[in-house]
Amino acid sequence: MKKLLFITLLLFLSLPLIAQQDNWGTKVVKKVAPKTLTIVTAYPNPFRTSTRINFTSTERQTVTFTVKNLLGKTVFMERINAKKGKNNIPFKRDNLQNGMYIYSLRTDTELVSKRLVIR
């Protein structure tokens, strides 16, 4: 009886492997878009009145800069034509309350998000 249970268990566990046997030996290649935004920082952070979002772009492209509160509501958005090389975006707090926000830089192929603190 124990042998029969053991054989049944082995058969049950090996069925998914047998079903996948056709895929063995095939290579799955994932296409990953190259990173176009690097060295993304905000300085100063935390800040009181204004800060600068600094980033390096590997190509000329349109970048969408957004700032969201912790509930996910967009409180600021701007489109920037980034040049190849170093770029910066000045950001003023205007009427935003003290607290933590998430800023994002989005291109056609990637999204970089980081934290921003207003004191």
Give this prediction's pTM: 0.73
CA distance 56 to 47: 22
CATH of domain 47-118: 2.60.40.10
Percent of the chain with pLDDT over 70: 77
CA distance 81 to 24: 46
- Listed residue (112, 87, 88, 104) closest to 35, CA to CA: 112
Mean per-residue pLDDT, 66-87:
97
